[in-house]
Structure 1
Amino acid sequence: MDEDTALDLCGELPSAELTHPFGFETAVYKVRGKMFAFLPLDAPHPSITVKSDPQDAAELVREHGAIAPGYHMNKRHWITVTLDEELPEGLVEELIRESYRLVILTLPKARRPVA
């Protein structure tokens, strides 16, 4: 998946909001004010950082050279995925959607955009 596709996918999720709290060189996607993904737009190698279940994160880091503990984030709950590396078809999309789902689960039910 390339950077533009990742940005589009993040923006298409229900109630997703693109913000730039760290400047316009970083795209931060939030749902109901809580971050679920961020992409440094000026990096030499495009990447996306997403929330992940700690057990899944550890396994993904072990299995894929393009996945590392979250850069500048809690290394247990966040992973950084290099987008210009070879990864199984659909994995990045799955990771983005799972990050979104994990963040939604932390919201009170009345504030969740989807059931």
Structure 2
Amino acid sequence: MNIEDIREYCLQQKGVEESFPFGPETLVFKVSGKIFLLMGLGGDPLQFNVKCDPDKALELRETYTAVQPGYHMNKKHWNTIIVDGTVSNKLLREWISDSYKLVAKIH
């Protein structure tokens, strides 16, 4: 996935808004006024932060080297995902959807 793929996927979710509240280099996606994904536009490789259930967050970090504690975020609830080709696009979309659902309170 690239920046545009992630952007399009986020915007497909119900009620999503995009903005740049932290400056022109950080694209933010919100639902119900709450952030569910942040993505830096200048990084190589591409990285983004998503919210995650705390137990699952730890499990993902132990399983995938591309999953790190959330950069500049509450590390209990957020992961930074490095889009380096080691994780399938299907999993990336799943993690984005999980974050959206957690923030939107959809179960």
Q: Normalising TM by the smaller chain, what interval? A: over 0.9
* Cα shift at 1:45: 1.6
Runs of 4 or more above 6 Å deviation: none
Aligned twin of 2:27? 27
SS at structure 2 position matched to 1:87: coil
Aligned twin of 1:100? 100
Whichever residue aligns with residue 88 of structure 1, its letter is: S
Note the residue ranges of structure 1 that are not aligned, 5 or more in a row. 106-113
* Cα shift at 1:32: 1.4
1: distance between equivalents of 2:45 and 2:26? Answer: 13
Aligned twin of 1:108? none
Residue-by-residue CA offset, 1:81-108 (whole Å, 9 max, x unaligned): 0112311351100000000000011xxx
SS at structure 1 position matched to 2:104: helix
Aligned twin of 2:51? 51
1: distance between equivalents of 2:6 and 2:14? Answer: 15
Q: Does 1:40 align with 2:40?
A: yes
Calculate percent identity across the aligned residue pairs: 38
Aligned twin of 1:4? 4
**Comparing 66-75 with 78-87, which one deviates more in the overlay?**
78-87
1: distance between equivalents of 2:91 and 2:29? Answer: 19
Aligned twin of 1:109? none
Larger Rg: 1
* Cα shift at 1:43: 1.3
Say what the alpha-carbon RMSD is for the aligned residues.
1.4
Aligned twin of 1:66? 66
